[in-house]
Chains A and B, each alone.
Chain A
Amino acid sequence: MKWSQFFNTSIGKKLLVGATGLFLCSFVIVHLAGNLALLKDDGGEAFNIYAAFMSHNALIQFLAWGLKVVILIHAILALQLTFRNRAARPVKYAINPGNQTSSWFSRQMAIMGSILLIFLLIHLKDFWFQMHYGSLESVSYKGEEYKNLYLAAQLAFKELWLVILYVIGMIGLSFHLVHGFKSAFQTFGLNHVKYNGLINFVGVWLFGILIPIGFAIIPVVIYFK
């Protein structure tokens, strides 16, 4: 079987969506770890040095472009599958079972994913674009010049609407990952009584609760500072 055939079936596409999804899960952990430097009360030194490292290190630059490709593959294939899934039922039911037969989270993956995608575009425009192509003020630590992305974040999150938008984005992330993380394992065929509990626990508590709260807390704290 050719690779192109393997990834062109419904299961093949789902495998790609699951693999890219888990890669993105690993990314949010790293991203949050770095972003927490925004809460450090040092005038932005730790965060700005971290941001400069992330935008200059060759390996990280390679991963950063790979990340954008991964996001595109994840979004395009998932949307393609979603449209196909919707088309599979041309006449809808008059009465739907709601939460009686499946969890609410599991039925909202496309909606939550779309919210995340829109959030991501706004987020990239606000910070990534500013860092790479915008004009940020300079700040120097120990004689070295750094772009002051820290200041840009401090100013941006004085806007209430942007803070609300970020919190909504993180609710989208939470609801998406509560089902998404464990769903990827099932798609890979990894369903085993010994590990299901752990996978579910990590999906709900780490990716569904802890990480989204960690992200959301940053704009909220900056707003009230």
Chain B
Amino acid sequence: MEHYTMNLTLKVWRQKNTDAQGKFETYPVSGISSEMSFLEMFDVLNERLINEGKEPIAFDHDCREGICGACSMHINGRAHGPWAGTTTCQLHMRAFKDGDTVTVEPWRAGSFPVVKDLTVDRGAFDRIIEAGGYVSVNTGNAQDANNILVPKDKADAAFAAAACIGCGACVAACKNSSAMLFVSAKVSQLALLPQGQPEKKTRALNMIAQMDKEGFGSCTNTGACEAECPKEISLTNIARLNREYIAAGLSYEK
């Protein structure tokens, strides 16, 4: 694709802290290369703001190669912008045309309070993982590889679920701010493997209890999460989570 430069009008959500009232600020940016990533465009803007003695825009970013899940931006109504299966750092400015107005908001969910500007606190996800998203392993020597046989299709499905980077786009995209796609991926990656079986029942029940406690909405099967997930986690995981819940809930004795 041919390289071009563009001038854009950015409308960015500015909020001093969690308790402050936020509002949109408008920033014209010029000379943006079509080969820049969306975050690099923000770097250009922030550099200018710093030079002008203004407060730069706070936004989360870490790896900038699409695998950390930090870059939580809701761009023109879409989690991580208009491209499917991408994080914000992998969204390039060639997705926009010269003269476009781009509106950037933080993830909106009561369970993800805004820390500052575009940065939100996704600690709720950590607490869900703490509730059961792990396997307990005794210390000692590592077992021989292939000691426990795993069918290829199960391994593939577990790996696809494990691709979840916990970015929160599913919550951001869901009209109910439901965390079901995240929880289903974290439950599935373990439920599909033999190593996940010992804690199978308590995992599903405890993670769902924590999910409800954090104030996430419930899933109404609209599929917006799957459409926005940068790792394209499938809705079949949510069906699996429902099965795990039913099986555990109907048989767990305590």
Which of B108, B109, B238, B244 interacts with A186 by CB under 8 Å? B238
Chain A: number of interface residues, binned into ranges:
35 or more
Return the CB mask of A102-124 against B: 1 if under 8 Å, else 0: 11001101000000000000000
Decide: A88 and B222 in contact? CB cutoff 8 A.
Answer: no
Decide: B177 and A11 in contact? CB cutoff 8 A.
Answer: no
A87 to B214, CA, bound (A): 12
Decide: A186 and B218 in contact? CB cutoff 8 A.
Answer: no
Interface residues in B203-254 by Cβ distance below 8 A to A read 205, 208-209, 211-212, 215-224, 227-228, 235-236, 238-246, 248-250, 252-254
Decide: B224 and A102 in contact? CB cutoff 8 A.
Answer: yes
> Nearest residue in A to B236 (C-beta to C-beta)?
A191
Q: Is the interface of A mostly helix, strand, loop or mixed?
A: helix
Return the CB mask of B161-189 against A: 1 if under 8 Å, else 0: 00000000000010111100000000000
Q: Is the interface of B mostly helix, strand, loop or mixed?
A: mixed
Whether A88 contacts B250 in the complex (CB less than 8 A), given A1-B205, A9-B209, A14-B219, comes out as: no
Residues of chain B within 8 A (CB-CB) of A86 are 176, 217
Chain B: number of interface residues, binned into ranges:
35 or more
Decide: A85 and B178 in contact? CB cutoff 8 A.
Answer: yes
A91 to B18, CA, bound (A): 12
The reply to whether the CB of B77 lies closer than 8 angstroms to some CB of chain A is yes
How many residue pairs link A and B with beta carbons under 8 A? The number is 136
A87 to B175, CA, bound (A): 11
Whether A109 contacts B220 in the complex (CB less than 8 A), given A88-B110, A97-B173, comes out as: yes
A10 to B245, CA, bound (A): 11
Decide: B77 and A10 in contact? CB cutoff 8 A.
Answer: no
Residues of chain B within 8 A (CB-CB) of A89 are 108-110, 175-177, 217
Interface residues in A184-198 by Cβ distance below 8 A to B read 186-191
11 contacts between A and B (CB under 8 A): A1-B252, A9-B212, A9-B245, A87-B215, A89-B175, A94-B11, A106-B222, A186-B221, A187-B221, A188-B242, A189-B242
| Residue positions of A touching B, CB distance < 8 A | 1, 5-6, 9-15, 81, 84-98, 100-103, 106-107, 109, 179, 182-183, 186-191
Q: Taking A15-B242, A94-B103, A101-B78 as given, write out 17 further A-B residue pairs in contact, using a Cβ cutoff of 8 Å, ordered by the A residue number.
A: A9-B208, A10-B217, A11-B208, A11-B245, A13-B218, A87-B110, A87-B215, A88-B109, A88-B217, A89-B109, A94-B11, A102-B223, A183-B220, A183-B221, A186-B238, A188-B246, A189-B240
